[in-house]
Amino acid sequence: MKAAGVLLALVVALALQTTLSGLTLTGARLVNLVVVAVVYVALMYGPVTGMLAGTAGGLAQDALAGGIVGIGSLSKTIVGFLAGLLGAQFIVAQPFPRLVMFISATVLHEVCYQGLFALIEIRPLRLSYQPVLTQAVINGIVGLTAFFVVERLPGLLQRRRARRGRY
Amino acid sequence: MLDNIQRTTTARPRTGLLFLAVVVGHILLISSQVQSRSGVPVLEGVTFGAFARLQEGTAGVIRSVRNVWGSYIYLRGVRAENADLRGRVAELEIRLQEQRALAERSSRLQSLLDLKPFVSAPTLAADVIAGYVNPGILTVTIDRGRDDGVMPDMAVISSAGVVGRVIGPVAAHAARVQLLIDHNGPAAAAAITERTRAGGMVVGKEGDPPLRMDFVSNVSDVKAGDVVVTSGADGIYPRGFRVGWVDKAERGDGLSLAITVRPAMDFRALEEVLVVLRPARAAMPEGSAEPGGPAR
């Protein structure tokens, strides 16, 4: 059940990312939904599941995007593992720590991703800070929204149904 | 309680070892590709082939919703007529660019006796069904594939100018196009300036403008505003198609000028493109490919 949920989250993230970039190429660069899904899974289920989600999501994203398969996957594996490890060590149940986690994970992912490209192409690491930070903040907002929807929505619906049943 | 503590202490090193194994696996995977890039990875081919179906599905759903809204609810009939006219205008603009290139070539080469006929390459219209899945690599997916005659390294153009090239693997019904502005593993195009015929190689770069022109000699006459067109020397892009305009041309560090190019194509609004159905041929030295080569 857990594996199916994680796989579903990754497939939905990939499908949304490709659909979004099909609609607006500029807008799609501002968010990386696969990173959001990996961090979400890591915070929910721990480092091993986060790491495996990062590997699976990254491999699929790399294979679909072309180029060298494994760079995005390795970056996401590291991010998934560390996010899960930190999530297990500290209490990451409030919105602010979660936001910090999503932002840091996105920045770490970009550093790993661009760093690996720089290593392979033997060139200095060039990181454009503004797009990375913008993506990090947007990923954070999307991640918090995902947590809110998954955690609060069923309760809200149940309460509304109960209130309706009373009348 | 004691049992719990014991379980935690034995689980931690196991997790670390698993992480290490996965990282080593990745490094091996990346290394194998960097060392031998000739073959297409199986994983890439299978995943792309399967996922293209899903992309086609999501694009189809969106297109249907758009069509219902645009054709029946928003403006009945007007949208279809508009799309048809836009398609015709795009095609005519392509023909105009070809004619312009042909006329320019003809006037320069009237004195030469070895004039050969200019053959217009057949093209195939395609819709963009998915944008780039990874923000780091600029590729888009089109709804034409192997069954339509699309092959790797075929040029992709639009009415505004050069879009990019098809990269493998090509699925039966879909293909991936690497945009000219991609700076990670660039889709380079051999190009010349229209005014002075200074030849070089246009590649993607980070920042604005997203293109630069390399290997143009320091003694060449290139200035801002010069139109940059494809030279055809790379064997992929047909000659005479607009790439963009020179944004800045300065003296470089070595023997070449440092030239930045603003693309003619608006890559933020890619919807319909044309695939040039001419297989890529081996690159030829400038001037020897077709009459009217850039270095005459």
Read off the pLDDT of residues A12-45 as tens digits, 9 standing for 90 and up: 888 888 887 766 666 667 888 999 999 999 999 9
**CA of B134 to nearest chain A CA: how many angstroms apart?**
6
Residue numbers of B between 98 and 117 with CB closer than 8 Å to A: none
pLDDT tens string B162-217: 999 998 888 889 999 999 988 876 678 999 998 899 999 999 888 788 899 999 98
Domain spans, chain B: 44-282
Percent of the residues in chain B that have a pLDDT greater than 90, as a whole number? 20
Q: Which residues from chain B sit within 8 angstroms of residue A128, using beta carbons?
A: 206-207
Which CATH number is A45's domain given?
1.10.1760
CB-based contact, B264 to chain A, within 8 Å: no
pLDDT tens string A116-132: 888 877 677 777 788 88
What's the domain count of chain A?
A: 1
**Tokens coding B207:** 């920042």
Q: Is B238 exposed, middle or buried (0-12, 13-18, 19+ CB in 10 A)?
A: buried
Q: Which residue of A12, A29, A59, A62 is the best one to mutate when testing the B interface, meaning the one whose CB has the most B CBs within 10 A?
A: A62
Residue A152 is part of which domain span? 2-166
List the one residue out of B216, B295, B204 whose CA is nearest residue B251: B216
Q: Which residues from chain A sit within 8 angstroms of residue B54, using beta carbons?
A: 15
CA distance B167 to B153: 6
- Is the pLDDT confidence value at A6 over 80? yes
Q: Measured between alpha carbons, how far is residue A160 from residues A79, A156, A157, A163, B238 in Å?
A: 38, 6, 5, 5, 64
| Prediction ipTM score | 0.78
Q: Is the peptide bond before A131 cis (omega within 30 degrees of 0)?
A: no
Q: Which residues from chain A sit within 8 angstroms of residue B135, using beta carbons?
A: 28-29, 32, 135
- When CB atoms are compared, the residue of A17, A71, A81 closest to B30 is A71
Residue numbers of B between 184 and 243 with CB closer than 8 Å to A: 184-185, 206-207
Q: Measured between alpha carbons, how far is residue B253 from residues A69, A122, B22, B115, B256 in Å?
A: 34, 20, 43, 39, 7
